[in-house]
């Protein structure tokens, strides 16, 4: 099930070393739209993610709001407030049905909730939480650090997630641009992880589906900004290997890739 775009932070790639050097998006016939795309598809892209400083105190609307991730307290000393995710091991299930000041709470399966931060913070680490519940209390949890959850699919009893960190610009927890596909068992054990990244091309996830025992994931190869990209479909087998790549179109991009180029990015052996 694909997460809605308004459930994700706005994302731009601020790496100036892009594949493709066009400063204009092709096929725009209206003058105003052309001007907008002229700036949005420039290779001199600025990060427009709305990131704020984390508050020193918050109003506790939901007991879940007491669960906090890693936060940089003092840059000079490197003092970090550690997360308290251990408190998720056993919490009443009614908290997942109440409004929260800090989190969006989404039920993604009969006994699994996805918890997402409502805001990104300059001094705190990005995270998502998967929480499994029993009759009265939570029974298990899984933490996803430094990535956005773009999409998820239930495959038999397993859960497959498409992850991307495009737009996650944090001064204290720095990450390389990367997309991941993660398969978790019913008990949140990692069965396999597929990942792809490139030094010159920024990658982002769009969505995925399960078909004949394989995962088909759509990935964007950013050629200017998040508005200008090529779309590639990845075919991931049941062991987490990319066995095929197919170009599926583009948006405001004239860049083309040889099959060998796509293979070098996505079909890397573990």
Q: What is the mean pLDDT of residues 27-32?
A: 39
Strand 120-121, strand 51-52: pairing: parallel
Lowest model confidence (mean pLDDT) among 5-9, 78-82, 222-226: 5-9
Q: Is the pLDDT of residue 265 over 70?
A: yes
The boundaries of the domain holding residue 166 are 5-266
Q: What is d(CA 51, CA 168) in angstroms, rounded to the nearest whole number?
A: 10
- Mean pLDDT of the 18-25 span: 35
Whether the pLDDT of residue 86 is over 50: the answer is yes
Q: pLDDT digits over 38-69, tens only?
A: 444 433 333 334 555 555 555 677 999 999 99
Q: How confident is the model at residue 263 (pLDDT cuts 50, 70, 90)?
A: very high
| pLDDT value, residue 57 | 58
pLDDT for 255: 85
Q: How many C-beta atoms lie closer than 10 Å to residue 84's C-beta?
A: 12
Give the pLDDT band of residue 141 (cuts 50, 70, 90).
very high
201-242 residue pLDDT tens: 999 999 999 999 999 999 999 987 668 999 999 999 999 999
What are 107-133's pLDDT values in tens digits?
Answer: 999 999 999 999 988 899 999 999 999
Q: Which two tokens stand for residue 140?
A: 């298990």
pLDDT band at 254 (very low <50, low <70, confident <90, very high): confident
Domain count, the chain: 1
Structure confidence at residue 270 (pLDDT): 57
Confirm if 2 and 150 have CB atoms less than 8 A apart. yes
Closest CA to 3 of 126, 158, 164, 146: 164
């Amino acid at each position: 099930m694909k997460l809605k775009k308004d459930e994700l932070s706005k994302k731009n790639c601020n790496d100036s070393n892009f594949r493709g050097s066009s400063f204009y998006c092709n096929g725009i016939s209206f003058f105003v739209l052309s001007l907008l795309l002229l700036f949005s598809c420039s290779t001199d892209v600025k990060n427009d993610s709305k990131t704020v400083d984390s508050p020193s105190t918050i109003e506790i609307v939901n007991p879940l709001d007491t669960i906090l991730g890693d936060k940089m307290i003092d840059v000079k000393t490197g003092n970090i407030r550690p997360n308290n995710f251990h408190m998720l091991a056993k919490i009443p299930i009614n908290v997942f049905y109440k409004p929260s000041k800090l989190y969006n709470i989404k039920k993604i399966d009969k006994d699994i909730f996805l918890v997402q931060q409502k805001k990104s913070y300059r001094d705190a680490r990005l995270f998502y939480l998967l929480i499994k519940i029993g009759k009265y209390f939570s029974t298990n949890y899984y933490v996803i650090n430094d990535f956005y959850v773009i999409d998820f699919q239930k495959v038999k009893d397993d859960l497959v997630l498409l992850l991307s960190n495009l737009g996650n610009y944090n001064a204290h927890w720095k990450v390389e641009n990367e997309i991941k596909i993660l398969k978790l068992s019913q008990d949140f054990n990692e069965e396999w992880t597929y990942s792809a990244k490139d030094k010159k091309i920024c990658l982002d996830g769009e969505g995925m589906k399960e078909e004949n025992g394989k995962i088909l994931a759509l990935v964007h190869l950013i050629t200017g900004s998040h508005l200008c990209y090529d779309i590639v479909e990845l075919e991931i087998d049941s062991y987490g290997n990319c066995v095929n790549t197919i170009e599926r179109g583009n948006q405001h991009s004239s860049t083309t890739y040889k099959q060998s180029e796509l293979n070098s990015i996505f079909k890397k052996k573990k």
